[in-house]
Amino acid sequence: MQNTAYGASFAGGAFDMASFFKRPQTILRIISWLFAIVVFATITAEGYTNVKTDGNDKCMYNQNDSACSYGVGIGVLAFIACVVFLLLDAYFPQISNAKDRKYIVMGDLGFSAVWTFLWFVCFCLLASQWSKTVITEKYDVHEDAARAGIAFSFFSIVSWGLLSYFALGRYRQGLSEMNQDYNDPANDHTSPYPPPHASSGVPAGYQQSPFSNQGPTAGEYQPPAY
């Protein structure tokens, strides 16, 4: 792997906080971080309601506790991932090893793509269970909290999808840098020796020995005198 792949040749520069927080990728991570907080905090704080028939707390999404657990789990993991990738983005310019840079970019791309899909599943699950929820006097839920969880799950699909797009762009840019830095030796025209010509009768790739044959030819041989 070439040392300039994934921008490794520009490593070691000073960290510029102002330009870092102006990057679209940084803004998207912060937005995704906030969306994740809204989803899991809303469900944790107001997602369970006391059912008066049996006195147990049930999920506000059609009393399906799995729906609430899924939303909280996806939100908490997304919250942690946003913090981790923000730290990696800040430290990324200091990494000079192209292989480490590639692994970070690939991890960002893979995680963002997976979480885009998981947020889509979360949105579909919460919306489906909410459409089946019947609100009664015995099962009074916080409607605003339920709708907020669904809405910000949908917003998270968009934000994580854009993060996947930017990660894919960085990955492709790294591949193009590798291809530009690699030169095939067979096509290298910087050799100081000119290529052999077919008209010279010398096979391609053959170079004449630097020591010329100065001995007598077969026709000039003289026997020794006794």
pLDDT tens digit sequence for 166-205: 999 988 887 777 666 544 445 545 555 555 555 555 555 5
Tell me the sheet residues that pair with 57. Answer: 50
Which of left, alpha, beta for 68 (phi over 0: left; psi -120 to 50: alpha)? alpha
Indicate the domain borders of the chain: 34-182
Tally of CB atoms within 10 A around 130: 19
Taking a C-beta distance cutoff of 8 angstroms, is the pair 84, 72 a contact? Answer: no
Report the Cα–Cα distance between both ends of the chain, in Å, rounded. Answer: 71
Q: Which two tokens stand for residue 33?
A: 């971080």
- The tokens of 218 are what? 């077969």
Give the integer Cα–Cα distance in Å for 216 and 113: 78
In this structure, which long-range contacts are made by residues 132-141, counting pairs with CB atoms below 8 Å and at least 24 apart in sequence? Answer: 132/62, 133/60, 133/61, 133/62, 133/63, 137/52, 138/51, 138/52, 138/53, 139/49, 139/51, 139/52, 139/58, 139/63, 140/49, 141/49, 141/60
Q: How many residues does the chain have?
A: 226
Helices and strands per DSSP (H, E), number in the chain: 5, 2
Dihedral of CA atoms 80, 82, 87, 91 in degrees, nearest 10, equals: 140
For each of the chain's 226 residues, which pLDDT tens digit applies?
A: 344 455 554 455 666 788 888 999 999 999 999 999 999 999 999 888 866 656 678 888 988 889 999 999 999 999 999 999 999 998 888 887 888 888 999 999 999 999 999 999 999 999 999 999 887 777 777 888 999 999 999 999 999 999 999 999 988 887 777 666 544 445 545 555 555 555 555 555 555 555 555 555 555 556 666 5
To the question of pTM greater than 0.85 for the whole model, the response is: no
Beta bridge partner(s), residue 196: none
Question: Are 196 and 205 within 8 A, CB to CB?
Answer: yes
